[in-house]
Structure 1
Amino acid sequence: MKLSKFLLFLFFVLTASVAVAQSSAELKRKKEALQREIDLLQKNANKAANSKKLTLGEIKSLNAKIGLMQSKISVINSEIKNLDNQIHENTNTVHNLKGQLGQLKKEYGSMIRFAQRNKNAYDKMMFIFAASDFNQAYKRIKYLQQFGQYRKKQADYIQGKQKDLNYKIVILDKNLKEKSSLLHEQENEKNKLGKNKSEQSVVLNRFSKQERLYKQDIASKQKQAAQLERNIRSAIAREIALAKKKAEEEERLAAAKAKAENKPAPTTAAEKSKASGGYLTATPESAKLSAQFEGNRGSLPWPVTMATITQRFGKYKVGQAQNDNDGIDIETQEGAPVRAVFNGTVSTVNSAMGGYFVLIRHGQYFSVYSNLKSASVSSGQTVTTRQNIGVAGHEDGRPIVKFQIWRGTVPQNPEAWLGGK
């Protein structure tokens, strides 16, 4: 019964250890990914440091770096918490193993003393011959044999327990060293964060004092963003108009065919569009592509391989100016290739904001890639997931790609659609 309980306890300890190990590995990967993003921002900042003029990109990049550093500290805290749990579990296991080992040695000592008292062959023979009948004598012979075997098994079991105990002590020592290293890393990251927050305070104070000088720059960027949005909405409207025209033409041909064959009129394009959410899904092909795109929500690849979000989706303020972002701004590597996030057809390739923007249709969904230095696709071209469509351009001296996802004429938050980096 005691052995069964111990084996059950050992099973739970091992299961918990595997789960913690997996969690620790995930935290380590996440921490490394965050550090890569921090390094990318710092590298871009070093390149842009020659410019004496404070830019909005510098403020956004610094804010993003501080957010990443805070996330990294949070991950380190989670790693420390995991290690604390492991240390607690391993300490309990060591105590249990020591207690069991002590009990086993005590029981083994009793067996050895009994064996010493009865080691004489004459005593063993007397023990057997003292049996009341042959059956009892046979049982006594078997008992002596089993006793010797059991004693050997117990000795082996004690050695195994000792090895388990030594192994757990080594693991516990390793846990304690890892925790010490993580605490040191945490302290370093907090110091770096403090320096960056001081830098942020200086930059924001400088911006606040010179905000009037930046109003023209902010107004220019707002104007460019508004023009880009008009271009995107216009391109989407054209796609809807073309889809409607195609659907109505197919309806006309289908109605004529049904009339010639004296059959009931088929479902109209208007009815189809109402049922499916628009003319963009009026055909089976576009409806299928829309469903596939929706099915990949949360797992779409990023448009660039190295990416850090410097401006998120929705409303934000720069000084006193209120802005609205229909997508996300992604800071990336110099000359980074920009990739399609899903299969689709290129609807528009146009110039905007001193660069290019590419709009790709995925059924009733659209993905938009703007602030491109160059585009390597053309309108009407079919593209596949992760196919290169252009090269990242610059904004405020930094390589930036502006990425959006639209469902018809409604912008979506891209972060909800993109998967892990």
Structure 2
Amino acid sequence: MKFLKIVFFLLCVFTAFNVHAQSSQELKRRRDQLTQELQQLNQEYQETANNKKLSKKQLDNLKAQISIREEKINVINSEVRNLDNQISESNNSVRSLQSQLDQLRKEYAGMILFAYRNQSAYNKLMFIFAAKDFNQAYKRLKYLQQFGTYRERQADYIEGTQKDLHVKIVELDKSKEEKSALLKDQEKEKKTLGEQKNTQTQAIADLSQHEGQLKQQQKDLQKKIAATNREIDAAVRREIAEARRRAEEEAKEAARVAAAKAKAENREVEIPKTKTITKTSSNSEVLNATPEAARLSNDFLGNRGRLPWPVTNGVIIQGFGVYYTPENIKSESTGVSIKTNPGASVRAIFEGEVINVRDIVGTYLVVIRHGEYFTAYSNLRSVSVSKGQKVTTKQTIGTVATDSTTGETDVEFDLYKGSTPVNPKLWLAPN
């Protein structure tokens, strides 16, 4: 019974440790990913700084670094809390195993003393022959045999418990070393974070001396973003209107054919089992009117959180939604801005059909339909697809443009469900 309790205890400890280990692995993977993103952003920031190019995007780069570094510090805090829990559990396990080991040794010592006092064969025979009857003698014989087996088993328990205790002590020491390393990394990141915030303040002050240049850059950027958003919205609405028109015509034609057939057969017109598209049908019903479109929509939705990035190597420097510029100007992004390498290929994140290719203030915009979902890729230097063309997942559709003024290479990526923009980051796979 005692052995079963020990086994159950060890299983519980192992299960708890395994859960923590899995969580720690996820945190470590995220910390490594953030470190890689910081290195890439820092390299690009240094290149911008070395070129002495003052721009709003330089500040965006610095802001992205600060945000990522703060997230990394939070991840390290979570890792430290995890390790504290592991250390606490390991300490409890060590104390429990040590207590069990002491008890096992005490019991084993008692058995050894008993065996020593009754080691002669004569004493064993006397113990057996002193029985009242044959049944009792048999039971005493079996007792002596089981006692020897139990003593051997206790010795194995002691050895196994000693090994478990050694493993737990090693794990405890390793956890303490990891915690120490994490705390050093955390202090380093906090110091760098403080320096970057000071640099950001100084950069804003420096750029304020070139207020005219900064405002012009901001004005040009906002003008281009507005034009891109208008074109995306118009392309999506045109596609919805065209899909509605086609669906209504098909429904009318199907109704006409059914009526003619019913009249020829002298029977009533059957009510169609599938819902037909009318003027009151929703955009979702319109965009999923055909089996192919419905399949694409379901497949696209089924890959939420696993879709490939529009570039093979990139970091999000401007997220989705409302944000404030370093000058405290409120703005809103309908997609994400991804910094990548100069000349990088831009690819479709899912199969679909190109519904629009347009020049927007010197760079290209490509819009692709995936059932009731749409993806838009803007700030392209060149394109390799045309309107009406079918594309496959990860197919190259163009190359990203580099801003001649700032030297920045960003691709703007938007994702729509019908005519509503959604956060692309929630749909893309972890980078």
Could you tell me the TM-score, scaled by structure 1's length? 0.92
| 1:230-267 CA distance string (max 9 Å, x none) | 22223223323432342344244324423432263877
Question: CA–CA distance in 1 between the matches of 2:66 and 2:213?
Answer: 25
Question: CA–CA distance in 2 between the matches of 1:232 and 1:368?
Answer: 7
Match of 2:411 among 401, 406, 412: 401
Q: What is the one-letter code of the residue matched to 1:156?
A: D
Q: Does 1:419 align with 2:419?
A: no
Alpha carbons of structure 1 residues 265 and 49: separation in structure 2 relative to 1, 3 Å: farther
Q: Does 1:330 align with 2:335?
A: no
Q: What is the one-letter code of the residue matched to 1:376?
A: S
Q: What is the one-letter code of the residue matched to 2:421?
A: P
Alpha carbons of structure 1 residues 385 and 166: separation in structure 2 relative to 1, 3 Å: same
Residue 349 of structure 2 corresponds to which residue in structure 1?
A: 341
Deviation at 1:316, TM superposition (A): 3.0
Deviation at 1:60, TM superposition (A): 0.6
Q: Does 1:243 align with 2:224?
A: no
Match of 1:313 among 286, 311, 320: 320
Residue 189 of structure 2 corresponds to which residue in structure 1?
A: 189
Question: CA–CA distance in 2 between the matches of 1:103 and 1:306?
Answer: 59
CA RMSD of aligned residues (A): 2.3
| 1:389-410 CA distance string (max 9 Å, x none) | 1222224312211001123333
Alpha carbons of structure 1 residues 127 and 409: separation in structure 2 relative to 1, 3 Å: closer
Residue 385 of structure 2 corresponds to which residue in structure 1?
A: 377
Alpha carbons of structure 1 residues 301 and 361: separation in structure 2 relative to 1, 3 Å: same
Residue 289 of structure 2 corresponds to which residue in structure 1?
A: 282
Match of 2:367 among 359, 372, 393: 359
Residue 12 of structure 2 corresponds to which residue in structure 1?
A: 12
Question: CA–CA distance in 2 between the matches of 1:62 and 1:208?
Answer: 16
* The 10-residue stretch of structure 1 (26-35 or 280-289) with the greater mean CA deviation from structure 2: 280-289
Secondary structure in 1 matching 2:409: strand
The 5 A counterparts of 1:1-400 are 1-261=1-261, 262=263, 264=269, 270-271=277-278, 274-275=281-282, 277=284, 279-318=286-325, 319=327, 321-395=329-403, 396-400=406-410
Alpha carbons of structure 1 residues 146 and 254: separation in structure 2 relative to 1, 3 Å: closer
Q: What is the one-letter code of the residue matched to 2:359?
A: S
**Contact 1:40/1:333, CA 8 A, preserved across alignment:** no
Q: What is the one-letter code of the residue matched to 1:333?
A: N
Secondary structure in 2 matching 1:274: coil
Deviation at 1:414, TM superposition (A): 1.8
Alpha carbons of structure 1 residues 145 and 337: separation in structure 2 relative to 1, 3 Å: same
Alpha carbons of structure 1 residues 409 and 275: separation in structure 2 relative to 1, 3 Å: closer
Question: CA–CA distance in 1 between the matches of 2:143 and 2:255?
Answer: 97
Alpha carbons of structure 1 residues 119 and 33: separation in structure 2 relative to 1, 3 Å: same
Alpha carbons of structure 1 residues 275 and 201: separation in structure 2 relative to 1, 3 Å: closer
Secondary structure in 1 matching 2:278: helix
Aligned residues: 421
Deviation at 1:273, TM superposition (A): 5.9
* The 10-residue stretch of structure 1 (374-383 or 4-13) with the greater mean CA deviation from structure 2: 4-13
Question: CA–CA distance in 2 between the matches of 1:336 and 1:127?
Answer: 90
Unaligned runs of 5+ in 1: none
| 1:124-156 CA distance string (max 9 Å, x none) | 222222222233222222222222222222122
Secondary structure in 1 matching 2:416: strand
Question: CA–CA distance in 2 between the matches of 1:420 and 1:285?
Answer: 28
Question: CA–CA distance in 2 between the matches of 1:248 and 1:126?
Answer: 105
Deviation at 1:162, TM superposition (A): 1.2
Alpha carbons of structure 1 residues 46 and 78: separation in structure 2 relative to 1, 3 Å: same
Secondary structure in 2 matching 1:361: strand
* The 10-residue stretch of structure 1 (14-23 or 283-292) with the greater mean CA deviation from structure 2: 283-292
Alpha carbons of structure 1 residues 243 and 256: separation in structure 2 relative to 1, 3 Å: same
Secondary structure in 2 matching 1:346: strand
Question: CA–CA distance in 2 between the matches of 1:87 and 1:105?
Answer: 26
| 1:362-396 CA distance string (max 9 Å, x none) | 12321000011221222111112222212222243
Percent identity between the two aligned chains: 49
* The 10-residue stretch of structure 1 (137-146 or 31-40) with the greater mean CA deviation from structure 2: 137-146
Deviation at 1:28, TM superposition (A): 1.0
Secondary structure in 1 matching 2:401: strand
**Contact 1:228/1:353, CA 8 A, preserved across alignment:** no
Q: What is the one-letter code of the residue matched to 1:18?
A: N
Q: What is the one-letter code of the residue matched to 2:346?
A: V
Alpha carbons of structure 1 residues 281 and 266: separation in structure 2 relative to 1, 3 Å: farther
* The 10-residue stretch of structure 1 (21-30 or 405-414) with the greater mean CA deviation from structure 2: 405-414
Alpha carbons of structure 1 residues 394 and 117: separation in structure 2 relative to 1, 3 Å: same
Q: What is the one-letter code of the residue matched to 1:285?
A: E
**Contact 2:27/2:79, CA 8 A, preserved across alignment:** yes
Alpha carbons of structure 1 residues 115 and 51: separation in structure 2 relative to 1, 3 Å: same
